[in-house]
């Protein structure tokens, strides 16, 4: 069984993890989730977990002694684990990192607040720092939930269908293909909430997905994943696992997209004349 221990000042924020797939996985004994209130390990009568920074400046810094006692309690309760500090200074968390962490038996996630953790504690007790991206949040709780969710779904037995995780976006370096379900023909409601009776307003599911030809379906999905990635996240193409045929296909698609974009651009001279006329 894999275990997650989260050190936080706000354990109530993790209520969403008590639902859906993660709740079922916990009930089935596939994973354990432990929440530790950092404030419980403060020793003064005010239960202070932070103090002013040496050298001056705004904000407060979380105290190393309090954090150490909380972390030691986590180790006593669940055993040693990989200690991860959710911090904007860490490398970006991605699918490859989630896959790597899914192989750990115990992950200990530290949720920072204020100006962060005392650097001495980080240097002595933290194994790695992770960030969700180049933006600032109020604390580490939301990133911690994202890490738990992304990692847990890769643990064997957590998802009902293991193939779902294998085909997720980013697993092969590409975005996922489009998905469709019933009804096979759908007419969106108008802005007034009335279904249009016009035949041209009906949007069908792509025929190949209803053909029963599994090979054709797989090929269509792969092509759609390639095209979607090229359009939405072209930087991923360079690291995706592609065969020679797919590499040629990507080059052809990229050339077609470039040509389409060029055709859409107005002639510079005409555009200037229109601006002058205005």
pLDDT of residue 273: 46
pLDDT of residue 160: 72
Helix or strand (DSSP H, E) at 16: none
> Does 88 qualify as catalytic in the annotation?
yes
Mean pLDDT on 107-123: 97
pLDDT of residue 48: 96
Q: What is the pLDDT of residues 67-88, one digit of tens each?
A: 999 999 999 999 999 999 999 9
Terminal Cα distance for the chain, rounded: 70
User: Which member of 68, 104, 167, 168 is catalytic?
Assistant: 168
User: Which member of 50, 118, 129, 153 is catalytic?
Assistant: 153
Cα 200–Cα 205–Cα 207 angle in degrees, nearest 5: 105
107 is in an annotated binding site: no
User: Which member of 88, 125, 167, 228 is catalytic?
Assistant: 88
269 is in an annotated binding site: no
Residue 27, pLDDT > 80, answer yes
- Of 92, 46, 80, 85, nearest in space to 67 by CA: 85
| Whole-number Å distance between alpha carbons of 92 and 147 | 11
Q: What is the pLDDT of residues 186-236, one digit of tens each?
A: 988 876 666 656 777 899 999 999 999 999 999 999 999 999 999 999 999
Most confident of 60-64, 231-235, 262-266, 274-278: 60-64
Residue 257, pLDDT > 90, answer no
- Tell me the two tokens of residue 172: 């092969």
User: Which member of 115, 149, 167, 176 is catalytic?
Assistant: 115
pLDDT band at 66 (very low <50, low <70, confident <90, very high): very high
| Whole-number Å distance between alpha carbons of 180 and 176 | 13
Residue 170, pLDDT > 90, answer no
Residue 156, pLDDT > 70, answer yes
Q: Could you tell me what percent of the chain has a pLDDT over 70?
A: 89
112 is in an annotated binding site: yes
pLDDT of residue 270: 53
**pTM for this predicted structure:** 0.80
CATH 3.40.640.10 assigned to domain 2-161? The reply is: no
Beta-sheet pairing, 31-37 with 2-8: parallel
Mean pLDDT score across all residues of the chain: 90
Better-scored residue on pLDDT, 199 or 16: 16
Residue 277, pLDDT > 50, answer no
pLDDT band at 239 (very low <50, low <70, confident <90, very high): confident
134 is in an annotated binding site: yes
| Whole-number Å distance between alpha carbons of 206 and 27 | 39
Domain boundaries for CATH 1.10.1270.20 within the chain: 185-263
pLDDT of residue 52: 96
Alpha-carbon dihedral of residues 122, 128, 130, 134, nearest 10 degrees? Answer: 70
Residue 272, pLDDT > 60, answer no
> From the CB of residue 235, how many other CB atoms can be counted at a distance below 10 Å?
7
Pick the CATH number of 185-263 from 3.40.720.10, 1.10.1270.20, 3.40.630.10, 1.20.1300.10: 1.10.1270.20
136 is in an annotated binding site: yes
| Whole-number Å distance between alpha carbons of 148 and 153 | 9
Average the pLDDT over each of 41-50, 140-149, 198-207 and give the range with the smallest value: 198-207
Domain boundaries for CATH 3.40.1280.10 within the chain: 2-161
Beta-sheet pairing, 128-130 with 106-111: unpaired
> Does 115 qualify as catalytic in the annotation?
yes
135 is in an annotated binding site: yes
């Amino acid at each position: 069984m894999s275990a997650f221990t989260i050190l936080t000042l706000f354990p109530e924020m993790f209520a969403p993890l008590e639902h859906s797939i993660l709740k079922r996985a916990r009930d089935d004994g596939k994973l354990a989730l432990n929440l530790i209130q950092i404030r419980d390990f403060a020793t003064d009568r005010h239960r202070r977990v932070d103090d002013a920074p040496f050298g001056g400046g705004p904000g407060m810094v979380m105290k190393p002694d309090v954090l150490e006692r909380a972390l030691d309690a986590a180790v006593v309760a669940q055993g040693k684990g990989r200690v991860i500090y959710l911090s904007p200074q860490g490398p970006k968390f991605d699918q490859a990192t989630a896959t790597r962490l899914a192989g750990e038996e115990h992950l200990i996630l530290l949720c920072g607040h204020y100006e962060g953790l005392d650097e001495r504690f980080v240097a002595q007790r933290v194994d790695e720092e992770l960030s969700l991206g180049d933006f600032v949040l109020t604390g580490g709780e939301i990133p911690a939930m994202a890490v738990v969710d992304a990692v847990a779904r890769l643990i064997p037995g957590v998802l009902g269908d293991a193939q779902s995780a294998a085909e997720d976006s980013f697993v092969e370096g590409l975005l996922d293909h489009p998905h469709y379900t019933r009804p096979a023909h759908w007419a969106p409601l108008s802005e007034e909430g009335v279904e249009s009776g016009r035949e041209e307003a009906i949007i069908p599911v792509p025929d190949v997905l209803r053909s029963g030809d599994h090979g054709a379906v797989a090929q269509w999905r792969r092509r759609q994943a390639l095209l979607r990635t090229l359009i939405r996240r072209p930087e991923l193409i360079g690291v995706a696992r592609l065969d020679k045929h797919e590499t040629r296909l990507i080059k052809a698609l990229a050339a077609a997209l470039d040509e389409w974009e060029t055709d859409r651009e107005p002639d510079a001279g005409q555009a200037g004349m229109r601006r002058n006329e205005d």
